[in-house]
Amino acid sequence: MRALLASLRLRLIVLVVLAAVPAFGLVFYSGLEQRRAAATNAQTDALRLARLASSEQQQLIKDTRQLLVLLSRLPQVRDGDPTACNALLGQIKPSYTQYTNLAVLSADGYIRCSALPADGAAAATDRRFFRRAVETRDFAVGDYAIGRLSGKATLQTGYPVLDENGNVEAVVHAGIDLTWLSRFAEAAHLPEGSRLSVNDKTGRILARYPNPQDWVGRPSPGGLIAQALRTGQHEGVGEGTGTEGVPRLFAYTPLGGFGQDHEVYISVAIPTSLAYAEADWILQRNLTGLGVVVLLALVAAWFGSDLFILRRLRVLVTASRRLAAGDLTARTGLGSGHSELNELARAFDDLAGSLQEQHLDRLRYDEERTRLLEAIERERNTLAGIMASMSQGLMLADPSGNGRYCNYRAASLMGLHPDSVLNAPVEDCFDRLREYAVDADNVLPAWRRALDLLSERPSFELGLAGPPRRDLLFDLFPVAESREAEPGVGILVREVTAERDLERTKDELVSVVSHELRTPLAALVGFAELLLTRDLERLERKECLAIMVQEGQRLTALINDLLDLQQMGAAGQQLALEPTDLREVIVSATAVAGLEEQHILTLDLPAEIPPVRGDAPRLQQVFGNLLANARKYSPAGGEIRVSAQLAGGVVEVVVADQGLGIPLESLPRLFDKFYRVDNSDRRTIKGTGLGLAICRKIVDGHGGRIWAES
């Protein structure tokens, strides 16, 4: 496609087309003017027809006045005899087909007599023609409406019948049938698809040609007349699409009638397809003729360009392709003439000779360059493999502090994606660590202090709260691309969690040995000395030995918990995570805990719990510790309930008891090592103070969360 657009032949054709564009533009402009003239003529004819219909309506109203004046003077109407009056109106009505009904209304608005049956008809006091006839004591024209008796679109009129004193004793009424407009439209021979309609100012259709039965009485707020009346003009022409979805040219004017105040309008609409038909045909004919002329010019340009230009260009292109394919002996053989193409061919031949001379030099240069690039690529791949497989994390930053490299180990330790470090300030990476840091306020100051001492290869440590908790050591060193350039920054990231946990565990163990183990050892030594120094009775010796056994068991439990806690810390929480049936683990933990008569153990578990990644023995140890605590601190007869539920994509297990309760201020420290709530009721219950700390270690190692509520 791109080659076709760039061809010389196509460009010559484009020039011919461009030369024809003004002619096409003139034809289109002429066509638009003809369409505009056709629209003006059609709208003028439509407006003339609408005005003629309005004049016909004016004359019909005058004839109606004469008829009603005549009827008001007849004795059958004035005497008030309904039978004679009905007979009279029934005889007259067939001769006046332009009326929907003839009737005489009493002074209170009810029908006294009518040409149509009027049983149960409502009073006409609400009708405008009746009120005006009574008020003015003269001929009155009311609103266009749907007749109550005839059911047709009607212009209602009335004339008062006065007694000797000038009082209104009745009103003679005639309803002018608007269907005369259909006959008027048929006589006017409107084009096929045209319509003539009468609408009130709200857009409701009172009469329509053709198909009046489908439209009369329907509201049409989106019709052409309703749209035109919103402009505030009571007469005019326009173009638009009405409720039928057919584009039309239309004209409208107020329908003639006394005292109508421009409330009813008659419109004539002609489809644009008919109005523009002749103009469109002329435009099509002119375009066809011009198209034939342009086509002949295009054919001449097509074959003439090949004869005089393209053949020589193909020779030049063939030689160029041979040269591009590596044939440096390619020549055009067109250099003997004096035309512009001959000069171009001679320049090409000279270029080919020059390239042939330089070809050998370039081959030698390319061979040397390829060898050097291959060596550099091998070294680069080797270095990248070494850096990616390092057990330590590595990050590199340019002198401006933006990241240039980050291996997967460093990204994993810092909770980042390697790509997020590239071309981003490294300080932003440390700023993100503040969210998880134990000492958030010290993260950025530590980084900046290390940068200031970069030449001394500084290091600093950060503790991350987790889960799981981690300790990271950052070693900084300068990285210079050249002696003159400002050095960048290299950062080695190493996890020292196991070393720090071991140090903390050793410190805690020393503290426990010096504090927590002192009490049971003191009791053992004290009672042992008592047995050695005194000659006690058998029962007293038995009591001393029982206390020594109890303290020894307490000491054993304390040492086991300490060793368990130390093992988890020193081994870095080496959990065997695999898909685990948590429901089976909970049931197994309750079975190992055993049944007892003092407490009621209730399991409230779903029928199915999705598998979780966990270490089943460690999880069973957690639930066992929680059940043991619940039994120790629950009163006899209390219920211990173990329940589980899915909450937000995780499984939440609850061990609830009816124990003593925990003070609010003690809840944050409940899972600390050796912490026990300071309460006399609890001090009587034996424990090491390490069970809940072990539970937290295990749960943290699973990436979960454990807490207490009271």
Could you tell me if residue 428 is left (phi over 0), alpha (psi between -120 and 50 degrees) or otherwise beta? alpha
pTM: 0.39
How far is residue 683's CA from residue 200's CA, in Å, rounded to a whole number?
A: 96
Task: Give the Cα separation of 51 and 45 in Å (integer).
Answer: 10
Per the domain annotation, does 334 fall within a domain?
Answer: no
Paired sense of beta strands 600-604 and 639-647, if any = parallel
Residues 594 and 679 in one domain: yes
> 403-406 and 140-146 as β-strands: parallel, antiparallel, unpaired?
unpaired
Say what the pLDDT of residue 64 is.
86
For residue 85, which of 67, 103, 106, 66 has the smallest C-alpha distance? 103
- Whole-number pLDDT of residue 5: 61
**pLDDT tens for residues 624-659?**
888 888 888 788 778 888 888 888 788 898 888 887
Looking at residue 99, what DSSP letter applies? E
**Final residue belonging to a domain, choices 177, 196, 211:** 177
Do 157 and 80 reside in the same domain of the chain? yes
**Are residue 546 and residue 586 in the same domain, yes or no?**
no
**Rg of the chain in Å (alpha carbons):** 54
Q: Is the pLDDT of residue 258 over 50?
A: no
Residues 108 and 193 grouped into a single domain? no
As a whole number, mean pLDDT of residues 255-279 equals 72
In a domain, 441, yes or no: yes
* Residue at 184 is within a domain: yes
Q: What is the pLDDT at residue 458?
A: 92
Pick the last residue of a domain from 162, 177, 192: 177
Q: Is residue 105 part of a domain?
A: yes
Q: Is residue 78 in a domain? A: yes
Least Cα distance to 121 among 112, 131, 130 occurs for: 112
End-to-end CA distance of the chain: 77
Assess whether 120 and 141 both reside in one domain: yes
**Are 31 and 283 in contact, with CB atoms under 8 Å apart?**
yes
* Position 605 in a domain: yes
Q: Are residues 626 and 517 in the same domain?
A: no
Out of 39-48, 256-265, 538-547, pick the least confident.
256-265
Residues 294 and 20: beta-carbon distance below 8 Å: yes
Encode pLDDT of 309-366 as tens digits: 777 777 878 888 888 887 877 777 776 777 777 778 788 777 877 887 887 788 888 8
Averaged confidence pLDDT in the chain = 79
Q: How many Å separate Cα 437 from the centre of its chain? A: 36
Distance CA 431, CA 143 (A): 81
Considering the domain boundaries, does residue 372 fall inside one?
no
Q: Is the pLDDT of residue 679 over 60?
A: no
Looking up residue 555, the CATH number of its domain turns out to be 1.10.287.130
Do both 593 and 690 map to the same domain? yes
Output the pLDDT for position 508: 65
Cα–Cα distance for residue pair 197/188, rounded to 1 Å: 14
> Helical H runs in 402-517?
408-414, 418-421, 426-433, 443-452, 497-514
How much is the average pLDDT of 553-572?
66
The CATH number linked to 160 is 3.30.450.20
Within a domain: 5: no
Q: Does 527 lie in the same domain as 618?
A: no
Instruction: Please tell me the predicted confidence (pLDDT) of residue 571.
Output: 47
Do residues 403 and 422 lie in contact, with contact meaning Cβ atoms separated by under 8 Å?
yes
d(CA 580, CA 620): 11
**What is the count of structural domains for the chain?**
5
Encoding tokens for residue 346? 């001679």
The CA–CA distances, whole Å, from 269 to 38, 131, 275, 473 equal 14, 35, 10, 88
Domain-ending residue, one of 252, 276, 300 = 276
pLDDT value at 396 more than 50: yes
Looking at the structure, do residues 147 and 223 belong to the same domain, yes or no?
no
pLDDT in tens, 404-460: 888 888 888 888 888 888 888 988 888 888 888 888 899 899 999 988 898 889 999
Residue 160 has pLDDT above 90, yes or no: yes
User: In this predicted structure, what is the pLDDT of residue 223?
Assistant: 66
Check: CB of residue 620 under 8 Å from CB of residue 592. yes
* Containing structural domain, residue 458: 390-480
Question: Are residues 211 and 172 both part of a single domain?
Answer: no
693 lies in the same domain as 654: yes
Q: Are residues 166 and 250 in the same domain?
A: no
**Residues contacting 335, CB < 8 A, separation 6+:** 342, 345, 346, 349
Specify the 3-state DSSP secondary structure of 128: helix
Residue 581 has pLDDT above 50, yes or no: yes
Please answer whether residues 639 and 626 qualify as being in contact, where contact means their C-beta atoms are separated by less than 8 angstroms: no
